[in-house]
Amino acid sequence: MYQYDEIDQRLVEERAAQFRGQVARRLAGEITEDEFKPLRLQNGVYMQLHAYMLRIAIPYGFLTSRRLRRLAHIARTYDKGYGHLSTRQNIQFNWIKLVDVPDILDELADVQMHSIQTSGNCIRNTTADAYAGVARDEIEDPRPWCELIRQWSTFHPEFAFLPRKFKIAVTGAPDEDRAAVRFHDIGLRILENAEGQRGFEVIVGGGLGRTPLVGEVIHEFLPQASLISYLEAILRVYNLFGRRDNKFKARIKILVDALGAAEFKRLVDEEWALIKDSAIDVTEEELERIRRYFIPAAYEELPSSDARLASFSLGKDRAFGQWVRNNTRHHKVPGYTIVTIAVKAPGQPPGDLTHEQMDALADLSERYTQGRLVVTHAQNLVLPDVKTEDLPALHAELLPLGLATANAGKLTDIICCPGLDYCTLANATSIPIAEAISARFDDVDYLNDIGDVSLKMSGCINACGHHHIGNIGVLGIDKRGEEFYQLMLGGAPGNDAAIGKILGPAFAKHEIVDAVDRVIQRYLTLRESPDEPFIDALRRVGLEPFKEAAYPDAKKDKRPAASARAASATTVAAPETQGT
Amino acid sequence: MAALPAVVTANETETGTVVYRTPDGRLSPNLSEAWVVEDAERLEAALAELQTQQAIVCDPYAFPVKVEAGVPMPLSTRERIRSQGPTVALPRAS
């Protein structure tokens, strides 16, 4: 786990003190809301539907038990007793009083946490593979690089007022992208060439929102030492040419799309030529300095536990077996297992944790995983270093906490934005739909029969719930004051990146869960075998069979075909032969 | 300007609490106590007045309502949820 050095510590303490003064001036009426708004946003304070919301940064999602306990304390003392894990691997509190924020920031600084750059048109929290550092398929831990980016981008004066917000993600696992790098302003994939050298594939201009686009590769193998100079060149080009006249066209994806990837790359290379091979390059000494601040986990020498893990999943305790099957992963160190805590219990808002759960998880992490936890972009938590032999005991302790739901990667492991229940931007509620879908499919055997399928839901076109890249996506819209929901299929966030395609006219609120159910039923009848995942079956047969299932009365109603507004890019293949 | 009749609302600066302007000029967290304004000039004046109280409230605006049994009811889902709280149960510690 990365430990802040003395410079980081002073920085967060000074920022907390600075904001205390700004809040005091605001409450004294010395500055207006218009003057104050950019200041509070730079400290992660939003005004939401019911109250202020505070977004707290969790760099690349990595938490310690001490930090989680502090978050529990904040939930208990300053909020209504719970927090919400975000898709940026951060945490949000929904019922914060402005007058309390300076004290909260002091409490955060005490455990080396903060809210810096969790809002505003700046470089936001860099995200990473939630299994970083422990994944068996990883060629290099991306976290030191994320930390390098954090240090470079924090309070970078040139990039404090970009045309729009800017998000970077890094993965060190080339075969399975668990960080959605193709849907970030910049996505970085650590690769290794035939000579054993490491470099970055640099992907630019991906994103969701009202214009979903898959990022474009502009450098296939950037030498690692050049990372910061190349990022700086990209940001400079964006800062110079990105649109500032229209916030809906201000993200870098619009610029890359308008210029074309080749021209954008040319501009970046031109800028890069001015700064590369200079003092800005990353030296091995500097990287080693950062690596030293990552205190490694203390692993015991244990025999391989792969067979034991397999036997657990087939044991007589079916609930435990299903949890092992769905919520664990092989660890890179023999004898250890990666555990996903699905914060997706039936009937609970996805990603919400009570202060009691946070405290209990902090305790469990100390006893089972060396006090380390990871927030995932799927709004779950990962315990990265659990001894495989401890899994039965850990599962038994998670059960009474409501945190042993065995649905990681399954249909009810829903990514869901706060929607109209909390958000001022939303057009429709999303949490009630997620809860209804969870209730409808609350049967682990059935979920396992359906297999791996992602469902992502947003309450508006801003796509905080990543609906464009769900195998099944749900988008809430407003039609003359009524909540309606568009259904889209075929999105994928990983190496097979794709943007979902709208299936047809939006469904009324009372219709959408049934429509999702009918889509699942159709998949179950047309898959070639239980081993063919939903997304593969969809790509094989195309949208039409699912459209027929979702709109059974379409011919009778003469409903129109899929909206022409369907997302512009999709890789859902047209079927060569119609499925049965 | 919102369609009439309308209610004037804002958030308390110190706490963020949703408040509504009452007929006697107070700020109440209860929509049922809100002043239902039926006149565009008076609505504009009420908004302008709150704009001058920025240390107390922020971002005042008006939204249309209908009156049922003497109580203002928001026309939009957004304002209904804003006045009543989330439509889902809040996570509670056991």
CATH number where A353 lies:
3.90.480.20
- How far is Cα A218 from Cα A479, in angstroms, rounded to an integer? 40
pLDDT of A277 strictly over 70: yes
Confidence band (pLDDT; 50, 70, 90) for A408? very high
Residue from the list B13, B75, B78 with its beta carbon closest to the beta carbon of A27: B13
Cβ of residue B40 closer than 8 Å to a chain A Cβ: no
Position A60: which residue type? Answer: Y
A12 HSE (CA, 13 A, CB side): 23
Query: DSSP string of A233-263?
Result: HHHHHHHHHS--S-GGG-SHHHHHHHH-HHH
In a domain, A577, yes or no: no
For an interface test with B, the pick among A39, A47, A49 (most B C-beta atoms closer than 10 Å) comes out as A49
Is residue A407 helix, strand or coil?
coil
**Confidence at residue A293, expressed as pLDDT on a 0 to 100 scale:** 84
Contact A26 B85 (CB under 8 A): no
For tokens 């939401």, what's the residue? A48
pLDDT of A292 strictly over 90: no
Question: H/E element holding A63?
Answer: strand A62-64
B34 alpha-carbon distance from chain centroid:
7
Give the mean pLDDT of A155-183. 96
Residue from the list A28, A33, A421 with its beta carbon closest to the beta carbon of B87: A421
Nearest CA in chain A to B77: A481
Cβ of residue A80 closer than 8 Å to a chain B Cβ: yes
Q: How many CB atoms lie within 10 A of CB A527?
A: 20
Residue from the list A47, A435, A478 with its beta carbon closest to the beta carbon of B16: A47
For tokens 């109250």, what's the residue? A51
Is residue A578 helix, strand or coil?
coil
Percentage of chain A modeled with pLDDT above 90? 89
**Confidence at residue A72, expressed as pLDDT on a 0 to 100 scale:** 98
Which residues does chain B have within 8 Å of residue A421's beta carbon, measured at their own beta carbons? 81, 86-88
**Confidence at residue A570, expressed as pLDDT on a 0 to 100 scale:** 37
The CA-atom distances, in angstroms, between A181 and each of A123, A154, B23 are 15, 21, 54
Tens digit of each residue's pLDDT (9 = 90 or more) over A510-568: 999 999 999 999 999 999 999 999 999 999 999 999 999 999 987 655 544 444 333 33
Task: Give the β-pairing of A168-171 and A127-128.
Answer: parallel
Confidence band (pLDDT; 50, 70, 90) for A481? confident
Per the model's pLDDT, the better-predicted residue between A517 and B92 turns out to be A517
Q: Is the CA virtual torsion A345, A350, A355, A359 positive or negative?
A: positive
Give the mean pLDDT of A434-451. 95
Question: H/E element holding A20?
Answer: helix A6-27
pLDDT of A165 strictly over 60: yes
**Confidence at residue B93, expressed as pLDDT on a 0 to 100 scale:** 55
Residue from the list A28, A420, A483 with its beta carbon closest to the beta carbon of B55: A28
Contact A81 B58 (CB under 8 A): no
Contact A33 B54 (CB under 8 A): yes
Position A115: which residue type? Answer: S
**Confidence at residue A538, expressed as pLDDT on a 0 to 100 scale:** 98
Confidence band (pLDDT; 50, 70, 90) for B94? low
Contact A354 B88 (CB under 8 A): no
Per the model's pLDDT, the better-predicted residue between A93 and A561 turns out to be A93
Domain of A188, CATH number, reads 3.30.413.10
A193 alpha-carbon distance from chain centroid:
28
Contact A432 B88 (CB under 8 A): yes
Cβ of residue B66 closer than 8 Å to a chain A Cβ: no
Contact B14 A98 (CB under 8 A): yes
pLDDT of A260 strictly over 50: yes
- How far is Cα A525 from Cα A536, in angstroms, rounded to an integer? 14
**Cβ atoms A114, A42 nearer than 8 A:** no
**Confidence at residue A571, expressed as pLDDT on a 0 to 100 scale:** 37
Cβ of residue B24 closer than 8 Å to a chain A Cβ: no
**Confidence at residue A577, expressed as pLDDT on a 0 to 100 scale:** 35
Q: What's the number of domains chain A is made of?
A: 4
Residue from the list B15, B55, B59 with its beta carbon closest to the beta carbon of A29: B55
Confidence band (pLDDT; 50, 70, 90) for A315? confident
Contact B81 A421 (CB under 8 A): yes
A residues 220-259 lying closer than 8 A (beta carbon) to B: none
Which residues does chain A have within 8 Å of residue B85's beta carbon, measured at their own beta carbons? 50
Give the mean pLDDT of A165-182. 97
**Cβ atoms A215, A204 nearer than 8 A:** yes
pLDDT of A225 strictly over 70: yes
Nearest CA in chain A to B59: A33
What lies within 8 Å, CB to CB, of B94 at 6+ separation is: A354, A356, A402
- How far is Cα A563 from Cα A566, in angstroms, rounded to an integer? 6
Which residues does chain A have within 8 Å of residue B13's beta carbon, measured at their own beta carbons? 26-27, 33, 98
Encoded tokens for A166: 């800017």
**Confidence at residue A90, expressed as pLDDT on a 0 to 100 scale:** 95
Last residue of a domain, one of A292, A319, A346: A292
A54 and A190 share a domain?
no
In a domain, A573, yes or no: no
Contact A33 B13 (CB under 8 A): yes
Pick left, alpha or beta for residue A180 (phi over 0 → left; psi -120 to 50 → alpha; otherwise beta). left
A459 HSE (CA, 13 A, CB side): 23
In a domain, A368, yes or no: yes
Task: Give the β-pairing of A186-192 and A168-171.
Answer: parallel
Q: Where are the alpha helices (DSSP H) in A410-541?
A: 431-440, 444-450, 512-526, 534-541
For an interface test with A, the pick among B9, B11, B52, B61 (most A C-beta atoms closer than 10 Å) comes out as B11
Tens digit of each residue's pLDDT (9 = 90 or more) over A372-405: 999 999 999 999 999 999 999 999 999 999 999 9
A96 and A166 share a domain?
no
- How far is Cα A154 from Cα A281, in angstroms, rounded to an integer? 17
What lies within 8 Å, CB to CB, of A543 at 6+ separation is: A489, A490, A501, A503, A562, A572
A96 and A139 share a domain?
no
Contact B17 A51 (CB under 8 A): yes
Encoded tokens for A463: 């796509």
Work out the mean pLDDT of chain A and round it to a whole number: 93
Encoded tokens for A298: 């203390």
**Confidence at residue A556, expressed as pLDDT on a 0 to 100 scale:** 56
Give the mean pLDDT of A484-513. 97
Burial-class residue A108 by CB neighbours within 10 Å (0-12, 13-18, 19+): buried
pLDDT of A221 strictly over 70: yes
Give the mean pLDDT of A334-353. 95
Cβ of residue A344 closer than 8 Å to a chain B Cβ: no
Domain boundaries, chain B: 6-84
**Cβ atoms A121, A162 nearer than 8 A:** yes
Cβ of residue A353 closer than 8 Å to a chain B Cβ: yes
Question: H/E element holding A82?
Answer: strand A82-85
Contact A354 B93 (CB under 8 A): yes
Q: In what order do the strands lie in the sheet with A127-128?
A: A127-128, A168-171, A186-192, A198-204, A216-223
**Residue pairs spanning A and B at CB distance below 8 A:** 91
Contact A481 B55 (CB under 8 A): no
Give the mean pLDDT of A425-453. 96
- How far is Cα A554 from Cα B91, in angstroms, rounded to an integer? 39
Nearest CA in chain B to A435: B88
Q: Supply the range of the domain harboring residue A29.
A: 6-110
A11 and A100 share a domain?
yes
Confidence band (pLDDT; 50, 70, 90) for A88? confident
Contact B55 A27 (CB under 8 A): yes
Residue from the list A27, A32, A52 with its beta carbon closest to the beta carbon of B16: A52
- How far is Cα A314 from Cα A418, in angstroms, rounded to an integer? 37
Residue from the list A27, A50, A431 with its beta carbon closest to the beta carbon of B85: A50
What lies within 8 Å, CB to CB, of B5 at 6+ separation is: B36, B37, B38, B64, B65, B66, B67, B72
Of A435, A411, A416, whose CA–CA distance to A533 is shortest?
A: A411
What lies within 8 Å, CB to CB, of A446 at 6+ separation is: none
A75 and A222 share a domain?
no
In a domain, A126, yes or no: no
Contact B94 A478 (CB under 8 A): no
Contact A99 B54 (CB under 8 A): no
Which residues does chain A have within 8 Å of residue B75's beta carbon, measured at their own beta carbons? 481
pLDDT of A76 strictly over 50: yes
Contact A97 B94 (CB under 8 A): no
Question: H/E element holding A56?
Answer: strand A52-56
pLDDT of A333 strictly over 90: yes
Confidence band (pLDDT; 50, 70, 90) for A3? confident
